[in-house]
Amino acid sequence: MLILAGLGNPGSRYAGNRHNFGAMAVDAIARRWSFGAERRRFSSLAREGDIPLPSGASGGPVRALILKPQTFYNDSGQAVAEAMAFYKLGPADVVVFYDEIDLAPGRFRMKTGGGAAGNNGIRSITGRIGPDFRRARLGSGHPGHKDRVMGHVLSDFHKVELPWVRQLIDACAEALPLLAAGEDERYQTEVMRLAPAEKLDPKTSGRTD
């Protein structure tokens, strides 16, 4: 069993927010791989489904549980910990999709372990299950100053941004067999191949070295 947690805040009021980027990604995964209907479990909206392994890989499909925590973003750890304990899983079986302000818009990076980098949802999960879970980081860009971060993450994506937002979440869904096989580096590469984005500084929109 693989847990795919998409962070966000519950309710239609927040559905289009940058902070709900992770929830958007797991919704795209559910659509692409025909997961079952949502139901309330583990303080979340949860769906189950099967992910095929990449061509040439041995073994059958991987069973996966999608979680969209309904505890609000900053308490996401409660939902993840509940599901992990129920299925007797370890941190390596958990992949958290979330918005990353320290990545330029449209960029994507996989990472295992590390700190929270100011993200309270990640801090909450770390506090419940430790730091060694897998992180699927969806670049949403930085507003340029720390005082503007809260307003930025709780604002909707602009209409002109929606094409790259949709392209990125669809790429996360399409490349998922690689993630299910534990090939996180190849998954990252394939997502960025399917949804290429310039490597810009998230704060200034200037090119990074």
> One of 19, 142, 145, 158 is an active-site residue; which one?
19
CA angle 145, 108, 42 (to 5 degrees): 90
Distance CA 142, CA 145 (A): 8
145 has catalytic annotation: no
Q: For residue 173, what is the DSSP state?
A: H
Whole-angstrom Cα distance, residue 9 to residue 71? 7
Nearest to 44 by CA among 71, 26, 15: 71
Task: For the chain, report the end-to-end CA distance as a whole number of angstroms.
Answer: 39
Kindly list the catalytic residues.
19
